[in-house]
Chains A and B, each alone.
Chain A
């Protein structure tokens, strides 16, 4: 069975500092991995996804994530945090078979301090 672990339910960074949100997955087959962002009182918006085409994936708003099979990780990073990045971030996994729902982590709330 697939699972996702997001280390740290809350991460706080200063504006302009590096953002690092951690995600580790468990999957018996090569996975597809997703990062979604949820702003207050809104639905989830796709930031980026890993589709096996490239291990370093670039997404919207300057975010990127690197797939590391040996570490079963897909950590999300952004070089310089902006106040508008404050939100909840969810990592999700789907196995390669398709026709299945996403399995989500519990989320990490990112706060950005001025």
Chain B
């Protein structure tokens, strides 16, 4: 079946512009996660959606970052007034049974964001 897809695969923008990154999770997966991977670093958690519950936004680095998810489908991560330090690969993951600790997260290929 289809995996997690993300678009665009690459995005180059100028400092100060807004960007939107999209994630399509695996069909039927109730949980969706956004992570950020900066060069030479591990993955940093950004935000987590689970069904109709309020999202866990505890990882968002500033109020310039926001995300939405429509039901159990597509999610959009928006970065306003981009800064050079926002340059990173943004990874999306989805999972089926997030209440189970051993639940596997399935990752998309990521969006590489470059802020000039």
Besides A41-B109, A43-B91, A101-B48, 4 other CB < 8 A contacts? Answer: A90-B42, A90-B43, A98-B98, A99-B99
State the B residues within 8 Å of A (CB). 4, 33, 35, 40-45, 48, 50, 56, 59, 91, 93, 98-110
Give residues in A with beta carbon < 8 Å to B.
Answer: 4, 9, 32, 34, 36, 41-46, 49, 51, 90, 92, 94-107
CA of A92 to CA of B103 in the docked complex: distance in angstroms? 12
Task: Report how far A42 CA is from B5 CA in the complex, Å.
Answer: 11
Main secondary structure of the interface of B (DSSP, over half): loop
Instruction: Tell me the complex Cα distance, A95–B86, Å.
Output: 29
Q: How far, in angstroms, from A94 to B4 measured CA to CA in the complex? A: 21
Closest Cβ–Cβ distance, residue B10 to chain A (whole Å):
10
Are B45 and A46 touching (Cβ within 8 A)?
A: no
Given A43-B4, A43-B110, A90-B43: A102 and B105 interface contact (C-beta under 8 Å): yes
- Contact (Cβ within 8 A) A96 B91: no
In the complex, residue of chain B having the shortest beta-carbon distance to the beta carbon of A43: B107
The CA-CA distance from A95 to B56 in the complex, in Å, is: 16
